[in-house]
Structure 1
Amino acid sequence: MSDIDSLANKLIPHYSHFDVGNRLLFTGHSHQAWPDVAREGQLEYYDVCARDVDNKWNEAFEKTEVLRNYLRDFYDDPDAFYCREESTHVLFVSWLSSMDLKNKPKIISTDGEFHSLYRQLHRLEEEGLEVSYVPVNPDPTFADRIIDEMDDRTSAIMLSRVYFETCLINTHLTEIAAAAREKGIPVLIDDYHGTNVVPISVKEAGLEDCYILIGGYKYLQWGEANCFLRFPKNCELRPAITGWFASFSTLDAPRTDAPVEYDHSDQRFASGTYDPSSQFRAAKVVEFFREQGLTPEVLRKQYLAQVALLRNEFESKGFDEDIIRLTHREPVERNGGFLSLTSPHAREIRAILMDNEVFTDARDVILRLGPAPYTTEAQIKAVVNELHKAVEKLATRSV
């Protein structure tokens, strides 16, 4: 039995509700299946609400701390703060509102960022914000081009650790962070495609003063509404977009004209009241991952093997590169957790696959095939076979 199947077959019985063993689920980069214990977490939340009513919050906060500790372990980052919110967008907007955009109206980003970041920055451009979208290619000179854009008008730098289209790992963060540190420019890293896929030590990478956006919807299997902003404990930023959860300690203090206060805690960038059910679900998943020995190293080995097999199977089919091709041919070690394919027909191909209950994902000209730890070798070969059929069907339509 292969290493891929050894882990996958061990996990499959624990995902019976999603029936992962009998379905071709290849949107793991977007939404992985939840283990059966996640359902227990949802039910647990209802029972806690019924039993404790308003006192449920103490237990809810404990669940969130379970998630924070998991992330601190993953990032080798025991001393940082991790603010929980419904989405990375809420956290991004709160963080951005703490920048001195009046006096430093320039943001440095890249042309490889996800829609959420790009859309918000582009809309703010319409209101006068200056955004420099540095091309991620050519890669060897990427850091130099980011550094060249840094000046005394720059409020922040915002970029990804793993690009959402190509799935390539950004290997320049340490160099960029060092240059930004010298100029006093904060760096925000989108790690939605890095967490639980590409291990990293924040300390060893020299990113301790950086801010990291983390989402639980993908590789963590936590589902929706479990997003975090990692920030250093010496952070003194004062977000203008702020909620009452950002300063619990002052709620009973008299209201004055004094500057708004922020707790020195994980909550600095928090908004307000939320639905904690997702934290109960996610805490069960954290427990499950630990029980199954799904360490960062184990997960990385599985994803590398799966993506390598996907790539080999794809290349063995001899696809017409005018119709569909590998987005890049970099070594698989530079790849995150999915295989990126480029095709002018990406959305049509995705629709044909979906008609056959094959779950993939398309963004513009990019088709993404994302396995998960429970994905077997047979399923990987099957999805490439289905892709080949879909492309042949598309070619027939075009004749």
Structure 2
Amino acid sequence: MRLLSCLPIDRQVRVLTSTAEFHSFERQLRRLEETGWCRVTRIPSEPVGEFAPRMEAELRRQPWDLLFFSQVFFDSALAVTELGRIVAATPDDCLVAIDGYHAFAALPLQPGPLLQRAVYLAGGYKYAQGGEGCCFIHVPVNCSLRPAITGWFADFEHLERRGDGVGYAADGRRFAGATFDPAALYRLDAVLGLYEKEGILIADIHRHVQTLQQRFLRGWRTCPAWPPGAGSISPDGPMAIF
């Protein structure tokens, strides 16, 4: 909600997204769409191999205020592998946000210059094994976004300062809210500390999952109940989970 509140409020805004965004974003977007504040275009998430070209074509078609899409689609586990290609095609005046929740701690990510341009959101509830209540937003260095929906932690160092405008922290804390229960942060820190201690990499976890997928499919194919046409089911494609 704070990210959406960075967009203009005095006109209708244009949002480009996919047909397979998780309910937390899609529900909020549909409600705002009902008010007439935003006009939304949704690119089909499947086939995933056509997603990036379709997104690039739409980005060239007209101006956009926000591009929001998932790294891994929650309803299919299909992964978008052309993140850099899509972000590079996005005009400078368009806010880019990637929902990395269903990829975080499931797929290895070497973002390179990607995070110099895009906002990245994820959380520790599922694959990161940190439990509920811990999520994060990465914002590029020198981010100047000023969310209209804001909390008093967003400029904690200058609470007593009064001026002509509302100030914000110089880093990602500009999106902070207010007081919170930090227990989730300690849980996630413990999990990541265990990974570091045992030398476990996300790439190792991903390979282990793929091995289990292959074992499952080999066993299933020997079952008399193996359904016709199911041979097309394969974890060898761009999938994070099966």
TM-score by length of 1: 0.56
Is 1:248 the equivalent of 2:156?
Answer: yes
Aligned to 1:106: 14
Cα RMSD after superposing both structures = 2.2
Distance 1:331 1:307, change over 3 A: closer
* Structure 2 residue 193 is the aligned partner of structure 1 residue 287: yes
Q: Distance in 2 between matches of 1:298 and 1:211?
A: 26
Structure with the bigger RCO (C-alpha within 8 Å, sep 6+) is 1
- After TM superposition, give the deviation of residue 149 of structure 1 in Å: 2.4
2:89 paired with 1:179 = yes
Q: Structure 2 residue aligned with 1:144, among 53, 61, 74?
A: 53
Relative to its length, the structure with more helix (as a share) is: 1
Q: Which residue of 2 aligns with 1:194?
A: 103
- The answer to whether the 8 A contact 1:307-1:332 is kept is no
Partner of 2:79: 169
Aligned pair count?
240
Q: Tell me which structure has the larger Cα radius of gyration.
A: 1
What is the TM-score with the length of structure 2 in the denominator? 0.90
Q: Which amino acid aligns with 1:199?
A: P
The one-letter code of the counterpart of 1:139 is V
Q: Does 1:332 align with 2:219?
A: no
- Aligned pairs (5 A) from 1:1-399: 93-103=1-11, 105-128=13-36, 129-150=38-59, 153-180=63-90, 182-203=91-112, 206-253=114-161, 255-256=162-163, 258-319=164-225, 321=227, 329=233, 331-337=235-241, 339=242
1:280–1:183 CA distance, 2 compared to 1 (3 A) = closer
- Amino acid aligned to 1:96: L
Query: Post-superposition shift, 1:165?
Result: 1.4
Distance 2:217 2:9 in 1: 44
Counterparts of 2:49 and 2:197, CA distance in 1: 41
* In 1, Cα distance between equivalents of 2:52 and 2:205: 28
Shift of the alpha carbon at 1:126? 0.3
Instruction: Give the C-alpha shift of residue 137 in structure 1.
Output: 2.3
In 1, Cα distance between equivalents of 2:206 and 2:195:
14
Identity of aligned residues (%): 32
Give the conservation status (yes or no) of the 8 Å contact 1:246–1:263: yes
Tell me the distance in 1 between the aligned counterparts of 2:196 and 2:235. 30
